[in-house]
């Protein structure tokens, strides 16, 4: 028997938040692909920017680590942010499988880290080329798993040399979610 998780704006975010720091987290599991942007300080402009504004997404792989890159007008003045993908903390029963990876949809959530509330959500249907890069990295991680410590060391080594803007410049795929007033899937 499976249970569904309800995501409702204005309600507590229904999944555990491991790190309570500002920034993005990208995850692929049995439920699909999810991007979680956690912010401790938000305002109505940031919420609307996430919900309806243009969002640029990109992917770059460095040393086997896939970086999910994002730029959201109205939230970040510094440009690009990054969220490296790791399966190290995904429970075995929630590991992504081919069925869950087949859907090229990414669910995006904006969460207030202090109040643990879901402030906005959006759904992005990405091009197959974009989704396929994620699938390939997930398959590689499943066939040769990294411990969380090894993953963190690799990420730290990349961050010591490259900024999110540098990673974006080397992106192998990108996708832009256009500004929308209707909340439709892009």
pTM of the predicted model as reported, rounded to 2 decimal places: 0.89
Residue 185 lies in a domain: no
Residue 158 lies in a domain: yes
pLDDT at residue 180, rounded to an integer:
83
Q: Dump pLDDT digits (tens) for 78-104.
A: 789 999 999 998 999 999 999 999 999
**What is the domain range of residue 107?**
23-177
Q: Dump pLDDT digits (tens) for 113-172.
A: 888 888 999 999 999 999 999 999 999 999 999 999 999 999 999 999 999 999 999 999
Average pLDDT along the chain: 88
Residue 71 lies in a domain: yes
Residue 39 lies in a domain: yes
Residue 81 lies in a domain: yes
Tally of domains in the chain:
1
CB atoms within 10 A of CB 2: 5
Residue 159 lies in a domain: yes
Residue 60 lies in a domain: yes
Joined tokens for residue 148:
């969380």
Residue 2 lies in a domain: no
Asked if 19 and 25 touch (Cβ cutoff 8 Å), the reply is: yes
Angle CA 106–111–115, to nearest 5? 160
């Amino acid at each position: 028997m499976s249970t569904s998780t309800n995501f409702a704006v204005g309600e507590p975010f229904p999944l555990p938040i491991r790190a309570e720091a500002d920034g993005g987290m990208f995850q692929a599991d049995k439920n699909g692909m999810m991007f979680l942007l956690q912010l401790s300080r938000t305002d109505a402009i940031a919420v609307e920017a996430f919900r309806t504004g243009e969002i640029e997404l990109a992917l770059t792989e460095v040393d086997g680590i896939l970086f999910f890159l994002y730029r959201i007008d109205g939230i970040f003045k510094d440009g690009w942010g990054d969220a490296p993908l790791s399966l190290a903390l995904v429970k075995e029963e929630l590991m992504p499988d081919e069925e869950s990876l087949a859907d090229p949809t990414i669910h995006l959530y904006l969460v207030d880290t202090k109040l643990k509330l879901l402030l906005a959500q959006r759904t992005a249907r990405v091009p197959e080329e974009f989704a396929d890069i994620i699938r390939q990295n997930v398959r590689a991680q499943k066939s040769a798993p990294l411990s969380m410590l090894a993953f963190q060391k690799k990420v730290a080594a990349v961050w010591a040399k490259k900024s999110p803007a540098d990673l974006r410049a080397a992106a192998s795929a990108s996708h832009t979610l256009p500004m929308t007033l209707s909340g439709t899937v892009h």
